[in-house]
A and B are shown apart, each in its own frame.
Chain A
């Protein structure tokens, strides 16, 4: 299966504002290394989850794919063309093919627009179709997100919809342009538990119909259940990557193991403290030497602070970046 999206050695950096005092004192400009050499690929009909804690670079990676931030290094090949090298004009037709769904459907939908207007807006912006064709495509998009019959929803405002319905409208507005790649940034974390599974099942069925989905999430249970592959990120790097069930059932990297061990289980008999790591993700301005994870790693030894491990094949069959595996 050939890849729809290939990200190669992606790096995204942000300068840290020095402030007036810093500028006058000529302090050196500091840099946040948000994404630092990330590679992965995504095929049509596949869902890949980028998981990790805040500050691990998962959202910056998604934003670089969307060209919402510029990549400082590396390539983002979409349908064979490197997005990082395309100008605004050349990018425009490709943008239709990559759409995004945001975390908060209470903020991503304009409260003054009816469902019909919100879903039609992307078509109008891209100047697609006649009036009647657009209305037809809006109806089809609403049917695809299971807001049926569409007539029941077309004239409603966001405040008349539940959280789950709003997120479905946001997904419909992304689908109306018939993208081949959907980037979903924490698509269910603002929704009530009772409706999360419905929205995730919808994404799952869209995936089965051929859509490629890049999901950004901090929720390992969700990633494990719905994604085909999981890439675990830590401080701007992928530390482990593989088929979702394999990563969850036989995690190789100590960070992945620790993360999985502290996810609360719903069965009270499965009560255990897990491997609770001390401290929080260090900031991406001062990246530790050697393995980035070594200051928090329960298994670190002398080599870890000196030499950075690269992603390599492990006994479990999927790659991880750790000297011990």
Chain B
């Protein structure tokens, strides 16, 4: 069976005011099965949010995208807005960081969900209002609060309302971009619990875009690690933590403080990611890598390292092991 969502060789360029281009996403690919939970992680500027926006055709006008985004085998990017629109929200929905910006401040949350239901011809009138109540209840908001305005809700409740709205057309894929970043740890736990329950009960596939590795470790099955606009490693989350193949993955985990490891070494990764407004030579991570050697002046290809895992590092390159994607 083919994957539910397949991203192939995705590129995104932003036009800069001075006429140059910023190559934000450089050939990203990954696949998502039904009900699967995938983490998309990396530092700010690595292209993870841009990738998510490109999948939904929500890039700003200054950006152009190339590559394929297959939903059930059909390329959503092939015909621009015309081929994406039928799928956006109905098949693939997104929840953003800081739900205050995603919700309309002058409409009650209930009215906004009713509007989404009617706009997409899911339900109308009284049926739409009833469905709104059910959606709110499903994310842990009492239906009676449908008349509340976004500013009357706490940060956690707003994020729940945004999730309810994203679920209004019963999508198969929910992309959550830093869904818990601005929230307190207890509210974060509540939202993670909710996403976990929703994906189990509705068979919803999740793409969790975040810089927070422990959140991915707790919620996701697999994880894509991005650096400088490309995928540098992908695999099951357990394998990534216990047996990272790319030095960046290993260092990213080591730099994350952990309550179960209070005496381990404190690691930081020196330097900063490379700028993407000029061509890169060699491995994009080599200046910051603790294992860089002569070969790294040539960019390593993303190769299979077994067990459904891929990594782009010369240290794992085994001759004759076929390149993937």
Q: A222-B257, A265-B214, A266-B213 are in contact. Are A276 and B251 (CB under 8 A)?
A: no
Report the minimum CB–CB distance from A169 to chain B (whole Å).
15
A interface residue numbers (CB < 8 A to B): 53-54, 162-164, 192-198, 200-201, 218-222, 224-225, 245, 248, 258-260, 262-271, 273-274, 276-278, 280-281
Q: Which of A258, A264, A265, A270 has the largest count of B CB atoms less than 10 A from its CB?
A: A264
The 8 Å CB contact of A262, one of B154, B186, B253, B269, is B186
B266 at the interface (CB under 8 A from A): yes
Report the minimum CB–CB distance from A188 to chain B (whole Å).
10
Contact A267 B266 (CB under 8 A): no
Contact A266 B253 (CB under 8 A): yes
Contact B211 A193 (CB under 8 A): yes
B44 closest partner in A (C-beta)? A192
The 8 Å CB contact of B218, one of A200, A201, A224, A268, is A268
The 8 Å CB contact of A276, one of B190, B214, B269, is B190
Contact A265 B260 (CB under 8 A): yes
Q: A194-B252, A196-B255 are in contact. Are A280 and B185 (CB under 8 A)?
A: no
Q: How far is the CA of A267 from the CA of B241 in the complex (A)?
A: 6
B218 closest partner in A (C-beta)? A264
A-B contact pairs, 30 of them (CB 8 A): A53-B186, A162-B272, A192-B44, A193-B212, A193-B255, A193-B256, A194-B43, A194-B251, A194-B268, A195-B269, A196-B268, A197-B266, A198-B270, A220-B185, A245-B262, A259-B185, A264-B215, A264-B217, A266-B214, A266-B253, A266-B258, A267-B217, A267-B241, A267-B242, A268-B238, A268-B241, A273-B193, A276-B186, A278-B190, A281-B184
B156 at the interface (CB under 8 A from A): yes
Q: How far is the CA of A54 from the CA of B187 in the complex (A)?
A: 10
Contact A266 B217 (CB under 8 A): yes
For chain B, residues 235 to 271, give those with C-beta under 8 angstroms from any C-beta of chain A: 237-238, 241-242, 251-253, 255-260, 262, 266-270
Contact B241 A194 (CB under 8 A): no
Q: How far is the CA of A260 from the CA of B262 in the complex (A)?
A: 13
CB-based A-B contact count at 8 angstroms? 122
B265 closest partner in A (C-beta)? A197
Q: How far is the CA of A198 from the CA of B238 in the complex (A)?
A: 26
Report the minimum CB–CB distance from B124 to chain A (whole Å).
34
Report the minimum CB–CB distance from A189 to chain B (whole Å).
10
Q: A218-B184, A265-B214, A276-B193 are in contact. Are A194 and B260 (CB under 8 A)?
A: no
Q: How far is the CA of A260 from the CA of B193 in the complex (A)?
A: 16
- In the bound complex, residues from chain B placing their C-beta under 8 Å from that of A262 are 185-186, 188-189
Contact B237 A268 (CB under 8 A): yes
A165 closest partner in B (C-beta)? B272
- In the bound complex, residues from chain B placing their C-beta under 8 Å from that of A267 are 217, 241-242, 258, 260
Q: Known A-B contacts: A265-B217, A266-B253. Give 17 more (CB < 8 A).
A: A53-B187, A192-B43, A193-B43, A193-B256, A194-B251, A194-B269, A195-B272, A196-B255, A198-B268, A198-B270, A201-B266, A201-B268, A220-B259, A224-B262, A248-B262, A271-B217, A280-B184
Q: Which of B185, B187, B211, B262 has the largest count of A CB atoms less than 10 A from its CB?
A: B185
For chain B, residues 176 to 198, give those with C-beta under 8 angstroms from any C-beta of chain A: 184-190, 192-193
Contact B186 A258 (CB under 8 A): yes
Contact B189 A197 (CB under 8 A): no
Report the minimum CB–CB distance from A208 to chain B (whole Å).
14
- In the bound complex, residues from chain A placing their C-beta under 8 Å from that of B213 are 193, 266
Q: How far is the CA of A263 from the CA of B262 in the complex (A)?
A: 14
Report the minimum CB–CB distance from A267 to chain B (whole Å).
6
Tell me the count of chain B residues lying within 8 A, CB to CB, of chain A. 41
Q: How far is the CA of A57 from the CA of B255 in the complex (A)?
A: 29
- In the bound complex, residues from chain A placing their C-beta under 8 Å from that of B241 are 266-268
Contact A280 B187 (CB under 8 A): yes
- In the bound complex, residues from chain A placing their C-beta under 8 Å from that of B267 are 197
- In the bound complex, residues from chain B placing their C-beta under 8 Å from that of A200 are 266
1/0 per residue, CB under 8 A from A, across B79-122: the answer is 00000000000000000000000000000000000000000000
Q: Which of A259, A270, A281 has the largest count of B CB atoms less than 10 A from its CB?
A: A270
Q: How far is the CA of A53 from the CA of B184 in the complex (A)?
A: 6
- In the bound complex, residues from chain B placing their C-beta under 8 Å from that of A265 are 214, 217-218, 258-260
Q: How far is the CA of A278 from the CA of B142 in the complex (A)?
A: 14
- In the bound complex, residues from chain A placing their C-beta under 8 Å from that of B155 are 54
Report the minimum CB–CB distance from B197 to chain A (whole Å).
10
A188 closest partner in B (C-beta)? B257
- In the bound complex, residues from chain B placing their C-beta under 8 Å from that of A221 are 256-259
Q: A193-B252, A221-B258, A264-B218 are in contact. Are A277 and B237 (CB under 8 A)?
A: no
- In the bound complex, residues from chain A placing their C-beta under 8 Å from that of B259 are 220-221, 224, 248, 260, 263, 265
Report the minimum CB–CB distance from A266 to chain B (whole Å).
5
- In the bound complex, residues from chain A placing their C-beta under 8 Å from that of B238 are 268-269
A262 closest partner in B (C-beta)? B189
A267 closest partner in B (C-beta)? B241
Contact B156 A280 (CB under 8 A): yes
Q: How far is the CA of A200 from the CA of B257 in the complex (A)?
A: 11
Q: How far is the CA of A54 from the CA of B188 in the complex (A)?
A: 12
Q: How far is the CA of A271 from the CA of B260 in the complex (A)?
A: 12
Q: How far is the CA of A195 from the CA of B154 in the complex (A)?
A: 31
Q: How far is the CA of A277 from the CA of B187 in the complex (A)?
A: 9
- In the bound complex, residues from chain B placing their C-beta under 8 Å from that of A192 are 43-44, 211
Nearest 6 interchain pairs by C-beta: A264-B214, A198-B268, A262-B189, A197-B268, A194-B269, A221-B257
Q: How far is the CA of A268 from the CA of B237 in the complex (A)?
A: 7
Q: How far is the CA of A245 from the CA of B261 in the complex (A)?
A: 11
Q: How far is the CA of A261 from the CA of B215 in the complex (A)?
A: 14
Q: How far is the CA of A229 from the CA of B233 in the complex (A)?
A: 38
Q: How far is the CA of A139 from the CA of B45 in the complex (A)?
A: 31
Report the minimum CB–CB distance from A275 to chain B (whole Å).
9
- In the bound complex, residues from chain B placing their C-beta under 8 Å from that of A263 are 185, 214, 259
Contact B184 A54 (CB under 8 A): yes
Q: A53-B186, A193-B256, A220-B185 are in contact. Are A271 and B266 (CB under 8 A)?
A: no
